[in-house]
Amino acid sequence: EFIRSSYFNKLEYTRFSSSVGKFVGFTEYGVRNAEYWNNDASLLSAMKAQKEVYCLNHIQIEYNNMLTKS
């Protein structure tokens, strides 16, 4: 799962989760940003592609590291 969170003063205001497939806001400001970002199809597709770019390419490395350290 790919998660990208946005924080201000240690308070999370938005989060993108690849399992949900969209941005979710946690504050009034975050909800407005999430609505704006969710209406941008190119931004949503770019965020969904981050799972393939980062997570799927590194899962085997992380998995091997966990096995050797346990």
Instruction: Provide mean pLDDT across the span 4-21.
Output: 93
What tokens does 45 get? 């597709």
Q: pLDDT at position 70, please?
A: 55
Return the pLDDT at 38. Answer: 95
Judge residue 26's burial from the number of C-beta atoms within 10 Å of its C-beta, 0-12 exposed, 13-18 middle, 19 or more buried.
Answer: middle
pLDDT, tens digit, for every residue of 38-54?
A: 999 999 999 988 888 87
Secondary structure of residue 1 in the 3-state scheme: coil
Q: Which domain holds residue 43?
A: 3-68
* Structural domains of the chain, count: 1
* DSSP state string for 2-60: -EEEEEETTEEEEEEETTTTEEEESSHHHHHHHHHHHT-HHHHHHHHHHIIIIIHHHHH
Is residue 69 predicted with pLDDT exceeding 70? no
User: Tell me, what CATH number does 35's domain have?
Assistant: 3.10.320.10
> What does pTM read for this prediction?
0.74
What would the mean pLDDT of 26-40 be, rounded to a whole number? 95
| Average pLDDT over all residues of the chain | 87
